[in-house]
Structure 1
């Protein structure tokens, strides 16, 4: 089992590890074809990639935080993320057939 953290932000990975989430690989860009049964993917992926992670047998944990608008687009430290209520929440998505 491999745990991937999809983020370009070092503070996010530092936060996750300080919260007890072991990260095997930090990736700035994600190729869903690397996901194997039992892998965990942490980050903020679009729904279509979440569905692909789940279809490949992986678990997706979404990085959620209450970020004020004046802090968007700025680097955050692990402490900043704690202050903004950062958490990893499991989500499951399935792509439906049809239009």
Structure 2
């Protein structure tokens, strides 16, 4: 079982590891083809990919922030992420 963090932001991975989330692989781009049953995916995926992760037996945790508009588009440090309430929340989805 592998834990992937899907992000192109180093501060996000630093934050996750400082918060006690073990990350096996950090990827800037995600392909659902890598997901094996029992894998954990951390990041900010669109809902269709969350459904694909779940269909393949993976778990998904969404990186949520309360980010003010003036901070969008900036590189955030782990400390910045804590300041803006960063958290990983479990989500599941399926297609009907």
What's the TM-score, normalizing by structure 2?
0.99
Q: Which residue of 1 aligns with 2:24?
A: 24
Gaps of 5+ in 1: none
Runs of 4+ in 1 over 3 A off after TM superposition: none
Deviation of the 1:64 alpha carbon = 0.2
State the secondary structure of the residue aligned to 1:26: strand
Q: Which residue of 2 aligns with 1:72?
A: 72
Gaps of 5+ in 2: none
Aligned runs of 1:1-99 on 2, under 5 Å? 1-96=1-96
CA RMSD of aligned residues (A): 0.3
State the secondary structure of the residue aligned to 1:20: coil
Deviation of the 1:13 alpha carbon = 0.2
- Which of these two proteins has the greater Rg computed from alpha carbons? 1
